[in-house]
């Protein structure tokens, strides 16, 4: 299944992002765009998270992957974009459910939290797991109705 994937990290997630990028490149199944960061120099995570989320929101890419030290900051920023469902995951179970039940389109990982082997398994699972639809689709529509509703006093 060929997919366009956008990936980004801050300095805290740089090493893991590089390993993920290499892993996906070696598999050769997906087109991967790396938007940085490209070294260990400090960079503010909101800028990277916003760029990945914006590209997902505008449907320029099928899926996104964000990596920072803990994953928390990136997930907060990414989920502020319309039509983005960024899931901070820590194991295979949460990755699987993020796709099957929530149709997550961005996987967020903590570079200082996860080991490399598990992280790569999580990425592979994220990119190969389908959304189940059904009752889960109804719930996503409810989320969209809430988040896209006009604000009231």
Q: Among all residues, which ones are annotated catalytic?
A: 101
Query: Which residues are CB-contacts of 151 (< 8 A; sequence separation ≥ 6)?
Result: none
Residue 55: other Cβ atoms inside 10 A: 20
Task: Note the Cα 39 to chain centre separation in Å.
Answer: 20
Residues with Cβ within 8 Å of residue 52, at least 6 apart in sequence: 6, 7, 8, 35, 64, 65, 66, 78, 106
- Compute the distance between CA of residue 130 and CA of residue 11 in angstroms, rounded to an integer: 31
């Amino acid at each position: 299944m060929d997919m366009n994937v956008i990936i980004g990290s801050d300095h805290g997630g740089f090493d893991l992002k590089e390993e993920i990028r290499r892993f996906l490149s070696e598999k050769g199944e997906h087109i991967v765009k790396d938007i940085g960061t490209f070294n260990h120099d400090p960079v503010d995570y909101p800028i990277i998270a916003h760029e990945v989320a914006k590209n997902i929101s505008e449907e320029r890419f099928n899926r996104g992957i964000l990596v920072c030290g803990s994953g928390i900051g990136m997930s907060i920023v990414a989920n502020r974009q319309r039509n983005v469902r960024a899931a901070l995951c820590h194991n295979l179970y949460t990755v699987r459910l993020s796709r099957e039940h929530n149709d997550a389109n961005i996987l967020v990982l903590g570079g200082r939290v996860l080991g490399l082997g598990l992280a790569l398994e999580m990425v592979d699972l994220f990119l190969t797991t389908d959304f189940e639809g059904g009752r889960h689709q109804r719930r996503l529509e409810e989320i969209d109705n809430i988040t896209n509703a006009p604000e009231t006093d």
